[in-house]
A and B are shown apart, each in its own frame.
Chain A
Amino acid sequence: NAGVTQTPKFQVLKTGQSMTLQCAQDMNHEYMSWYRQDPGMGLRLIHYSVGAGITDQGEVPNGYNVSRSTTEDFPLRLLSAAPSQTSVYFCASTLFNEQFFGPGTRLTVL
């Protein structure tokens, strides 16, 4: 099993550009989440999904969209990137309360 994979590992955007961060898991987990991690802070929940076709907002959803067309994939879309979205983004899937994290995407918005 590859576990949770994320692409790209690094990305630089200009203000106003849009992009999609990819997340996939091969463990058949229903629950998936997106977090952002900023220096000196813990992870903050952006969006989550309890299964295909179902998504909901977390603590910091503004500026981000998600979709869940399959159990495996949970992409995160930045609509119009802003410097405040410079962060490290982690995707996770959950089984029996334990979260499995991907390696992260380091995003810089200029």
Chain B
Amino acid sequence: SQQGEEDPQALSIQEGENATMNCSYKTSINNLQWYRQNSGRGLVHLILIRSNEREKHSGRLRVTLDTSKKSSSLLITASRAADTASYFCATESETNDYKLSFGAGTTVTVRA
């Protein structure tokens, strides 16, 4: 069964605006990861945040993790047309066995 659920399912923003999406999960985790998928392509790893971390940055990406609420958020700042894609959160369980459980994703459309 899927561990993560993203919210919203779809998001449309103007170029230059920020995009925020959320992920909630059910069981304790070792880490949470965000991936991007462009239409018709494979997933690309964006960022990993470990269960003992609260915030992480990578370029225009900012990820937060609240283990008490079992939730994470991904913020993309100053969005560009190239950010148009689906974004998935994936959780790895406490057993650290590399097995990931993916959510259904948030589809982000950036309008020029």
Contact = CB atoms under 8 A, between A and B. Distances in A.
**Size class of B's contact patch?**
20 to 34
A101 B42 CA distance: 6
B95 to A, nearest CB: 13
Contact of B45 (A4, A43, A98): A98
B41 A98 contact: no
A40 B31 contact: no
Nearest to A43: B102
A101 B45 CA distance: 9
A42 B103 contact: yes
Contact of B100 (A45, A50, A103): A45
B100 to A, nearest CB: 7
Given A41-B104, A59-B1, A97 B33 contact: yes
Interface in B70-89: 88
A90 B31 contact: no
Interface string B33-76: 10100001111110010000000000000000000000000000
Interface of A: 4, 31, 33, 35, 40-45, 48, 50, 58-59, 90, 92, 94, 97-104
